[in-house]
Amino acid sequence: MPFLDDARWRELIDARAEQPQLALDNLRTRRRRPLLTDGRLFIVAFDHTARGMLGVPGDQFAMADRRRTLEALLCALSFPEVDGVLASADVMEDLAVLGALDDKLAFGTMNRGGIMGADWELDDRMTAYSAASIKANGLDGGKVLLRLADDDAGTAPTIQACAQAVDECAAHGLPIMVEPLPYHHEPGTGTAKLLDDEDALLRAVAIGSGLGSTSTSTWLKVPAGKNPERMLACTTLPALILGGTPGADPEATYRSWERAMEVPNVRGLVVGRALLFPPDGDVAGAIKRAASIVRPAT
């Protein structure tokens, strides 16, 4: 049975036009839960489209299909092992209208101004949630993306904006995920790309850990990397492993997550495309496999 049949889809569309306040009412009155119940977190992420990222390998517009995406998110959130969701306001409010957020954590993405492929991509402004709106609308925390490139002056205002978001979330008593990633511009094309370098990733984690006037609300969101223990040796902050792009060999990705989970301050996963758009289309199977990594059977 589909999670989002024709009737439910039409109800969502009609509610967005005819009852626009319903989304916020549902967010603010939903059943809440504590951040941690067993020391681990498993969060599904879908904030990609708010900065113009629409594709997955093999389908450059997969994430532009909102009904397909919501179907995958509803499937994921139906599992009790999934603790919550990270999303932009439009996606979060769709889920709220659909009643999918009771007893789940809701993290709002904050800086989405670094549009994918734009000349200013690394000057990543706060264009989504603010700490104040996260608090006012009944969400549980925030998230910022901190792309660090020594060859792009847009990095400097992004660092400043992310540091301010860290301080503002802390002032509101909200946890904030900080995702520090090393970037550079490819010679010839000038395209901003993730820098595949373990030393650069270690440096990015160190910078992300030191943002703001307090780190008491900061959680890191980092790739598994080739050497996650070394990457996280520079901090005592709790960390969540990000999923990244779906690969042709999901088991290799899962094994990298399992290795990262052995690091003491790694407390779980935040995964989006790799689980919501798996190569075989089996969202439920991908969720179950990831859940077994976050909370392995004893």
Q: What is the pLDDT along the chain (298 residues), one digit of tens a residue?
A: 589 999 999 999 999 999 999 999 999 999 999 999 999 999 999 999 999 999 999 899 999 999 999 999 999 999 999 999 999 999 999 999 999 999 999 999 999 999 999 999 999 999 999 999 999 999 999 999 999 999 999 999 999 999 999 999 999 999 999 999 999 999 888 899 999 899 999 999 999 999 999 999 999 999 998 999 999 999 999 999 998 777 778 889 999 999 999 999 999 999 999 999 999 999 999 999 999 999 998 6
139-150 b/e with 16+ CB inside 10 Å = b?
bbbbbbbbbbbe
Q: So where are the chain's domains?
A: 6-294
CATH architecture of structural domain 6-294: Alpha-Beta Barrel (3.20)
What pLDDT is stored for residue 244 in this prediction? 77
What pLDDT is stored for residue 88 in this prediction? 98
**Which residues, in sequence order, are CB contacts of 144 under 8 Å at separation 6+?**
110, 111, 161, 162, 165, 166, 176, 177, 178, 179
Beta bridge partners of 147: 181
pTM for the full predicted model? 0.96
Contact present, 119 and 154 (Cβ < 8 Å): no
